[in-house]
A and B are shown apart, each in its own frame.
Chain A
C-alpha cells in the first residue's frame, strides 16, 4: 500500500526502504539491536539504483554513497549499510546481509519502477531529464528497462550491435554537435565485406542517449572495450574487485580514489584526452565530468578471474615497475 507520498515501502531482510518527495530513507537494525537510519537524495538514490540493476550488480562494490551499497559475489549479493565506512564500522552500527542475486534484483527492480516518476530518466544527464522529486506521478518504464548495448565482436558487423543513427532514435547529443560523423573508407574485395570492417567510434558515442553506462563495442577473447559517455557525476562510487582501466578519449574527468574498505582518501586522478590510467583493485572511485566526455572503460571479463579474486591471486595493482 502506498504511503502518503504515493510510493510503496520495501523491505529486504533487515533493511527497509521508503521514499518521500525529496528523499530515500534506509533503515536497519544493528547487530546489537539498535535502530539506525540513513537518508539520500531521491534522485541520487535512483541514479545509483538504476546502475546497480542495469549492470547486474557489476564487478565488486556498488556504493550508492559512503554508507549504502552492494557487493557482487556473482551468485549472491551483499547489501550493506556502513560496512565500508570506517567510523560507522568502528562504532558497530553497520549491517551486512547476503541475498540470492534474484531476490535482491527483483526487489531493486520493483523499487526502481515504483519510485521513478514520469519524466525522470536516471540514466540521463541532469540537464537532460525531468525532476525526480515530488508526489508519485507515474512511471518511466521505457527509460529504466533499456537493454545494455553489447557487441559480441564489433559494432556494425552483420548480425552484431548496430550503428546508432537518427532513424534508430539516437540523434547526436547537444554536447557532441561538433564531433565529425564521417565514416571510414572501406574497400573490401568481393567476399570480404564483413571482414574489412571499421566504424566511427566517436560518432557512435556522440549518439549515446545515456550517461555513465558502458556498452561493449569490440571484443578480443574476454577483453571488452566498454566506451561510455560521461556527464556530471558517476552516480555510484565503484569499488572494483579487479584492476580497472580507463582511457580518456576526449575532454576530461576528475576522479576521486578512496580506500574501498574505509573510504580513506587516496588520490585524485585528473584525466584529459589521450590519458590512460588504472584504478587499483584496493580503491573505490567516483568520476566528475564537467562536460560530456568519452571514456573507454576497459574490462577483463574472464570468468576464471572470479576464482583468482576469491583466492587472493588476482593482482591489486595494474603493473609493477
Chain B
C-alpha cells in the first residue's frame, strides 16, 4: 500500500516557526520571519513588509472584517495563506485613478469607489487572486485570515523589521 503523506500547512492558530542557526554570520542578514506570527501581531489590513527586493515587496496582511478600498497603478496579487477572504473589485472612474502610472504600491481610495462594478472573488487557502492595475479593491473577511501581497513598496507599506525578524 502506498504511503499516505501529510502536507503540513500553517495557520494563525497552528504554526511552527523555523529558525536561523548561525555558524559564522549575522542572523539579521537572513531577514527571517513568519507570516502567521506577523499577522498574529498586526492590526487588520496593516501592510507589513516581510520581503523586500529593491523596489518590490511581499507584504503580510491580517484579513479581518472589511478593509478600506485600495487602488494601485500596477497589478498586485493576493495569496491566501489562511482563512477565506472575498475581494470586491470596481473599475474606477478617471477622477479616482492614480494619475502617475509609474507610482509604486497601493493607496487608499478617498471616499466610496466610483465606477463600474467588476465583480468579486472568494479565496480560500492556497488561492491567489489578481488585483488588476487601475481597479479599486476591498478585502472582506468574517474570520481572521492571512494574505500575502505581491506588490511594490508604496505609501501604505509598513516596515518593522526589528520586530518581525530573528535578530540573535
Instruction: Answer yes or no: B61 CB below 8 A from chain A CBs.
Output: no
A187 touches B30 (CB 8 A): no
Instruction: Answer yes or no: A15 CB below 8 A from chain B CBs.
Output: no
Task: Point out which of A274, A275, A283 has the most chain B C-beta atoms below 10 A from its C-beta.
Answer: A274
B74 touches A199 (CB 8 A): no
Smallest CB separation, A186 vs chain B (Å): 5
A317 touches B29 (CB 8 A): yes
Instruction: Answer yes or no: B138 CB below 8 A from chain A CBs.
Output: no
A300 touches B54 (CB 8 A): yes
Residue on A nearest B89 in the bound complex, by CB: A196
Complex Cα distance, B1 from A174, in Å, reads 12
B30 touches A275 (CB 8 A): no
Task: Point out which of B2, B30, B167 has the most chain A C-beta atoms below 10 A from its C-beta.
Answer: B30
Q: Which of A183, A202, A277 contacts B20 (CB 8 A)?
A: A277
Identify which of residues 186-219 in chain A touch chain B, using a CB-to-CB cut-off of 8 Å: 186-189, 192, 195-203, 217-219
Instruction: Answer yes or no: A175 CB below 8 A from chain B CBs.
Output: yes
A198 touches B32 (CB 8 A): no
Instruction: Answer yes or no: A153 CB below 8 A from chain B CBs.
Output: yes
Residue on B nearest A315 in the bound complex, by CB: B54
B123 touches A198 (CB 8 A): yes
Complex Cα distance, B53 from A220, in Å, reads 12
Q: What is the 8 Å Cβ interface bit string for chain A, positions 162-200, against chain B (1 contact, 0 not)? A: 000000000000111111101111111100100111111
In the bound complex, residues from chain B placing their C-beta under 8 Å from that of A265 are 23-24
Q: How many residues of B contact A (CB 8 A)?
A: 72
B15 touches A273 (CB 8 A): yes
Q: How many A-B residue pairs have CB under 8 A?
A: 236
Complex Cα distance, B36 from A289, in Å, reads 21
Complex Cα distance, B51 from A299, in Å, reads 11
Knowing A252-B18, A274-B15 touch, does A198 contact B128 (C-beta < 8 A)?
Answer: yes
Task: Point out which of B34, B56, B118 has the most chain A C-beta atoms below 10 A from its C-beta.
Answer: B56
Q: What is the 8 Å Cβ interface bit string for chain B, positions 1-38, against chain A (1 contact, 0 not)? A: 01011111110000111111111110111111111110
Knowing A251-B8, A275-B32 touch, does A220 contact B123 (C-beta < 8 A)?
Answer: no
B124 touches A184 (CB 8 A): yes
A221 touches B152 (CB 8 A): yes
Q: What is the 8 Å Cβ interface bit string for chain A, positions 266-283, against chain B (1 contact, 0 not)? A: 111111111111111001
Task: Point out which of B10, B34, B127 has the most chain A C-beta atoms below 10 A from its C-beta.
Answer: B127
Identify which of residues 285-321 in chain A touch chain B, using a CB-to-CB cut-off of 8 Å: 291-292, 298-300, 302, 305, 315, 317-319, 321
Instruction: Answer yes or no: B119 CB below 8 A from chain A CBs.
Output: yes
Knowing A218-B130, A251-B7, A305-B54 touch, does A274 contact B165 (C-beta < 8 A)?
Answer: no
Q: Which of A268, A274, A292 contacts B21 (CB 8 A)?
A: A268
Identify which of residues 52-74 in chain B touch chain A, using a CB-to-CB cut-off of 8 Å: 52-54, 56, 58, 74
B5 touches A175 (CB 8 A): yes
Instruction: Answer yes or no: A72 CB below 8 A from chain B CBs.
Output: no
Smallest CB separation, B90 vs chain A (Å): 10
In the bound complex, residues from chain A placing their C-beta under 8 Å from that of B132 are 195
In the bound complex, residues from chain A placing their C-beta under 8 Å from that of B74 are 220-221
Instruction: Answer yes or no: B44 CB below 8 A from chain A CBs.
Output: no
Q: Which of A192, A197, A225, A266 contacts B23 (CB 8 A)?
A: A266
Complex Cα distance, B152 from A272, in Å, reads 25
Instruction: Answer yes or no: A88 CB below 8 A from chain B CBs.
Output: no
In the bound complex, residues from chain A placing their C-beta under 8 Å from that of B36 are 274
Instruction: Answer yes or no: A40 CB below 8 A from chain B CBs.
Output: no
Instruction: Answer yes or no: A75 CB below 8 A from chain B CBs.
Output: no
Instruction: Answer yes or no: A223 CB below 8 A from chain B CBs.
Output: yes
B50 touches A276 (CB 8 A): yes
Write 10 A-B pairs (CB below 8 A) sorted by A numbering.
A153-B75, A157-B130, A186-B119, A189-B118, A202-B127, A219-B75, A248-B18, A272-B15, A299-B53, A315-B54
Q: Which residues of B contact A (CB under 8 A)?
A: 2, 4-10, 15-25, 27-37, 50-54, 56, 58, 74-77, 79, 81, 87, 89, 91, 116-130, 132, 135, 148, 150-152, 159, 161-162, 165, 167
